[in-house]
Amino acid sequence: MDLLSLDTWLLPPHNRLSLHQVDRLVSTDAITTGDRTPRVLHVVGSPFDLEASPVTLAPGRETTVHEFLELTNTDAIIVLHEDQVLCEKYFGDNTPQSRHIVMSISKSVCGMVAGILVDEGLLDLDATTVTYIPELEGGSYDGSTVRQLLDMTAAPDFDMTYTDPSTEVQAGDRSAGWRTRRDDDADGTRVFLEGLRGSGDHGSTFQYCSATTDVLAWVLERASGLPYARLVETRLWQHLGAEADALITVDNHGTPYACAGVNMRLRDLARFGRLILDGGRFDGRQVIPEEWIQTTARGGDFDTFSEEEPRPGTYRNQWWVPGDSHGSFYAVGIFGQYLWLDPTTGITIAKFSSEVDPLGHSSEHINALRSIASSAQRLSRTNDSSEGTNK
């Protein structure tokens, strides 16, 4: 009996099955690789057993990587040092061929595509949102700028409580085809965005909002003249060395859910991260502008974060920047999807999960992934020294 449906797939324990089978439930569009050769990831001769390594989940709370992976309902994890696979594990019925939804890591994909269009001279960060989308005049995003969309300092009247059916975020899900639609729901994502009313002072405070990324993706379509999936495909996906097509969920009009709907293989998520750590360059081509990556990694303005809602660092170009000594930055999605980048060590960590709580173990993830990056660096150095001795 098939237990997955639009009414259950985002709920535990069903999400353990559904998050890597989204195309069974929601319509999708392919983001193709074309005929490009995949980036080669080299597996070490004796893969490191990182699971025994210690991690710190919180001050005074020590555990092992193995216990952390169990705690966070991990579906798959890969750790790279440059192009070398230090650790790669899959759990449950996940496999290297599984396409797992990355949720709000999709936002970070959008942020990098925006940087490409800025470099091409097609996107003006200082332009107002309605310059590109006049349909939004008089709505929640009227008066906001493209830069404010990128940094989540636009201020729509929008409730992001994931578990409350009365909130705008769930209404947006229903309009996007992620949940069973009600009679009074908007007919598709763009109609939903046009109908949003009420806003605060754009640019004054940080306000994490999924609809903001969907507005940004709409802006990118208007700036480039391409449908969003084709834009991601031709500017990014076909040039990062991906081994398989990605998918993005679409509504009944074919509009992509840019804020959360991208699905991809674990290794391709790691390849995306590796491209960024390489300054946006792969196979002799500058895919993402290096200056855009550097701006992203420096982070945003701490002054836009309210004291009532402290955050782990800042937010810039749809990426989180914790402000640690390694210059780490990361992308994250609900239910435990992570792409952690450590420029100092050259470590990339990609992780798929199906946590019980949409926001479960957020701080523990940040602490643990930082610990894993440090352990992986030490193990990599040990391995390099051993290989040098044996040569």
The string of pLDDT tens digits covering residues 10-69 is: 999 999 999 999 999 999 999 999 888 999 999 876 556 788 888 989 888 999 999 999
pLDDT-derived band at 389, boundaries 50, 70, 90: very low
pLDDT value, residue 390: 40
pLDDT value, residue 51: 81
* CATH node for 25-390: 3.40.710.10
Cα gap 22→12, rounded to integer Å = 15
pLDDT average, residue stretch 251-258:
98
The whole-chain average pLDDT of the chain stands at 93
> Is residue 330 within 8 Å of 340, Cβ to Cβ?
yes
- Strands (E) in the chain, as ranges, are 28-31, 42-43, 54-58, 61-64, 74-81, 84-90, 100-101, 246-249, 262-264, 281-282, 285-286, 314-316, 319-321, 329-333, 337-342, 347-353
Lowest-pLDDT choice from 2-16, 30-44, 376-390: 376-390
Annotated catalytic residue, options 18, 53, 104, 175: 104
pLDDT value, residue 115: 98
Q: Which of 18, 3, 29, 80 is nearest to 237 (CA)?
A: 29
104 part of the active site: yes
pLDDT-derived band at 309, boundaries 50, 70, 90: very low
Is 391 a residue whose pLDDT tops 50?
no
Is 1 a residue whose pLDDT tops 60?
no
Cα gap 368→167, rounded to integer Å = 31
Give the rounded percent of residues in the chain with a pLDDT score beyond 90: 84
Give the rounded percent of residues in the chain with a pLDDT score beyond 70: 93
pLDDT value, residue 313: 82
* CA-to-CA separations, 364 to 61, 68, 72, 85, in angstroms, rounded: 10, 9, 9, 24
Per residue in 345-356, pLDDT (tens digit) is 999 999 999 999
pLDDT average, residue stretch 317-327:
95
